[in-house]
Structure 1
Amino acid sequence: MILIGHRGAKGHMAENTLASFEKALQLNVDMIELDVFLSRDNIPVVIHDKTIDRTTSGFGLVSSFSARELREFGIPTLQDVFQLVNNQCDINIEVKEIKAVKSILDLIDSNIFSKDKILISSFDWNALQEVRFHDDEIRIGVLTETDLELAIAFAKFMQAYSIHPYYHLLTPENCQKMKNNRLKIFTWTVNEPEDIIFVKSLYVDGIITDFPDRV
């Protein structure tokens, strides 16, 4: 089973920061999960929200700031994370806006970071179609918190690598269906001990968690 640090090690350090990713590496994760928007100068930066209000001391849209300005608020670029991780684990990039797809793929192609260690996921399935349009090999993960049947059908159509379902959706039956369709199951965000025991009993392929040390 793959251990996936949610926004790094969000339960221990400020989410989506270099310190959080460093902590996740120290906790021996197999993969880190992070979120990407574009800065004003069209550089992929790592932040969950479309504004910087919740996670920094600043206010405003991510797209209103340059990557350099965002760095001053503690928001790293995706390139910063590639350099920090340096192929020590896989990276699950959650695309937050479709317009970021091309910039993300260009960055991946221009890097020494191994492409086969990248997994791109999104709740915006149009964004995943855009990824597949530009790259027919990179691993894709279909995020869902509602309709698992539809997600399975879409994942098969897209030749996805994995489905990332909200853990409350999981049953032995639908987990078996995903496995029968050769789809990896990376479930989120599983933090409480009893929930970790539950998803392990379903033999999921990966657990996305704020507390990698609990799994």
Structure 2
Amino acid sequence: MKLIGHRGARDEAPENTIAGFKHGISLGILDFELDLRLSKDGQLVVIHDATVDRTTNSSGKVAKLTAKELSQLNAQFAHPLWDQACPVPLLKDLLNACPEINSIQLEMKADNRAEAYAVAEATHEFCQQYKGKTNLILTSLNRHCLTTLVRLKSPQPRGLVVEYSFPPPIHTAKKLGCQYLCLDQILCSSARVKAATNAGLTVSVWTVNELEVARKLAAIRGVSSLITDRPSELMELFQDAA
């Protein structure tokens, strides 16, 4: 089973920043999840929200800012004592800075259908040109992102991010040609995981931050990975397993 750093290591370092991913790597985490949006000039930037208000020292919509403007912001807002400024990175810059990473779930974010098409097309194009060794898994809550990848005949593994039990997650994931089912921990039951693995899906569970919850989920046969904001706390579970 893998332990996956959520947005790098969200509760321990500035989220979705190069510094945050390097922090996770320093702990021995080599598998991660991050969020992708498009900047005003069509660049893939690593940020969760539609605006920069929550995570940076500025305000405004990501889609109204260029990649250069985003790179000049400080994304350490939730970690004011962090000892270095952390810009909003381009995906390509993060991957270049962290070549040790084994795999990343790239969660495509969009707030309308047009954005979904655009971010999925840009992510597909990026993956076609990417020459690094990191395994890129394309995921989304947004069905339009995933249907775009189907239309483009993307060869990348992809996954459906699920936070509700309807529409039926396993059926939907298979219909969208997914290989991964990324379940909210509330939806993770032995029966659902068994059905998902029987359908050929790899099950990843988010966001797991409590050690006892992690122990229970890790005991479910078929759970492949746990996504956490607190990798240093959950490492204990994996050390015990070793």
* Same fold by TM-score greater than 0.5: yes
Normalising by structure 2, report the TM-score: 0.84
Deviates more, 1:93-102 or 1:81-90: 81-90
The number of residue pairs the alignment matches comes to: 214
Percent identity of equivalent pairs: 29
> Deviation at 1:193?
1.0
Do 2:124 and 2:154's aligned partners in 1 also have CA atoms closer than 8 Å? no
Sort the Cα spacing of 1:182 and 1:30 in 2 relative to 1 into closer, same or farther, 3 A.
farther
2:109, 2:72 → 1: CA distance? 22
Sort the Cα spacing of 1:132 and 1:29 in 2 relative to 1 into closer, same or farther, 3 A.
farther
2:4, 2:211 → 1: CA distance? 16
- For 1:78, the equivalent position in structure 2 comes to 91
Residue segments in structure 2 that go unaligned for 5+ positions in a row: 74-86, 111-115, 236-242
Alignment pair present for 1:112 and 2:131: yes
- For 1:93, the equivalent position in structure 2 comes to 106
What is the root-mean-square deviation in Å for CA atoms of aligned residues? Answer: 1.5
**Partner SS for 1:163:** strand
- For 1:131, the equivalent position in structure 2 comes to 149
Residue segments in structure 1 that go unaligned for 5+ positions in a row: none
Normalising by structure 1, report the TM-score: 0.94
Question: Partner amino acid for 1:42?
Answer: G
Larger Rg: 2
Name segments (4+ residues, structure 1) moved above 6 Å.
none
> Deviation at 1:148?
6.2
1:197, 1:209 → 2: CA distance? 13
- For 1:200, the equivalent position in structure 2 comes to 218
2:30, 2:63 → 1: CA distance? 31
Q: How does 1:109-188 map to 2 (within 5 A)?
A: 109-114=128-133, 117-147=135-165, 150-188=168-206
2:196, 2:30 → 1: CA distance? 21
